[in-house]
């Protein structure tokens, strides 16, 4: 097992379509184990194989279960299990996402391939995921909230899509999250798009 290097957003491989996994070879096993180690090493919520330079439709999603909060009666309320999958490392191969209900949510998102940045993206709140596990056995999973968002984000990577393609408004710098910073109103309409180009 090893930590793999993350490809950054100027790397063309991130724009390529990943291939369907037809068999699990010892190399695929090693890749999956390395991806699990890597996503934890980099404190990510998810990691797609293309982000470590392998064009296979594999990703890991790992959403930590939040601490349960006390309700008015002092009882611990169960955290919706659909949003954290009990903190397990979810290995997702050849996924298909079926959005459920007509409910989208807009929230902040980041990516290990776009370090130091975040931005608003709209995703379905509730999805059904149909995919295959590391033995290529099919499984189905319901997911909501952050877990659904992370799965959608990672599956986009498999089609060469970065969240920055979908970001609403400006891409923000994480330094803007510092509490001492005052909120500033930015008139986004006033900034010509040409000036927003990156390197």
Q: What is the set of active-site residues?
A: 154
- Among 198, 162, 117, 134, smallest CA distance to 13 is for 162
Cβ 26 to Ni ion shortest distance, Å: 27
141 lines the binding site for Ni ion (CB under 5 A): no
When asked if residue 35 is in the footprint of Ni ion (CB under 5 A), the reply is: no
Stretch (H or E) spanning 91: strand 90-111
**48 burial via Cβ count (<10 Å: 0-12, 13-18, 19+):** buried
Report if residue 47 touches Ni ion, rule: CB under 5 A: no
Please identify which residue in 83, 111, 131, 155 interacts with Ni ion, judged by CB under 5 A: 111
Nearest approach in angstroms of CB 46 to Ni ion is 7
Q: Identify which range of 59-67, 95-103, 110-118, 185-193 contacts Ni ion by CB under 5 A.
A: 110-118
Closest chain position to Ni ion (CB): 111
The residue range among 65-73, 108-116, 127-135, 187-195 that interacts with Ni ion, by the rule CB under 5 A, is 108-116
Which of 69, 64, 13, 60 has the alpha carbon at shortest distance from 39? 60
Q: How far apart are CA 114 and CA 190, in angstroms?
A: 25
Ramachandran angles phi, psi of 158, nearest 5°: -65, -20
Q: Which is nearer to Ni ion, 32 or 111 (CB)?
A: 111
> In terms of Cα–Cα distance, which of 108, 102, 141 is closest to 125?
102
Q: Which residues bind Ni ion (CB under 5 A)?
A: 111
């Amino acid at each position: 097992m090893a930590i793999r290097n993350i490809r950054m957003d100027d790397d063309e491989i991130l724009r390529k379509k990943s291939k369907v996994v037809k068999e699990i070879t010892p190399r695929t096993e090693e890749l999956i184990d390395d991806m699990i180690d890597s996503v934890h090493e980099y404190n990510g919520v998810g990691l797609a194989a293309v982000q470590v330079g392998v064009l296979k439709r594999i990703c890991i999603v790992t959403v930590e279960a939040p601490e349960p909060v006390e309700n008015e009666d002092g009882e611990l309320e169960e955290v919706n299990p659909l949003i954290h999958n009990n903190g397990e490392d979810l290995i997702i191969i050849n996924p298909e996402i079926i959005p459920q209900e007509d409910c989208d949510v807009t929230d902040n998102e980041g990516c290990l391939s776009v370090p130091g940045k975040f931005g608003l993206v709209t995703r379905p709140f509730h999805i059904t995921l149909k995919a295959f596990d590391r033995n290529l056995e099919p499984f189905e999973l319901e997911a909501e909230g952050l877990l659904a968002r992370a799965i959608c984000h990672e599956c986009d990577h498999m089609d060469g899509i970065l969240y920055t393609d979908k970001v609403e408004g400006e891409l923000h710098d994480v330094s803007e999250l510092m509490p001492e910073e005052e909120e500033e109103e930015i008139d986004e309409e006033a900034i010509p798009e040409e000036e927003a180009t990156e390197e």
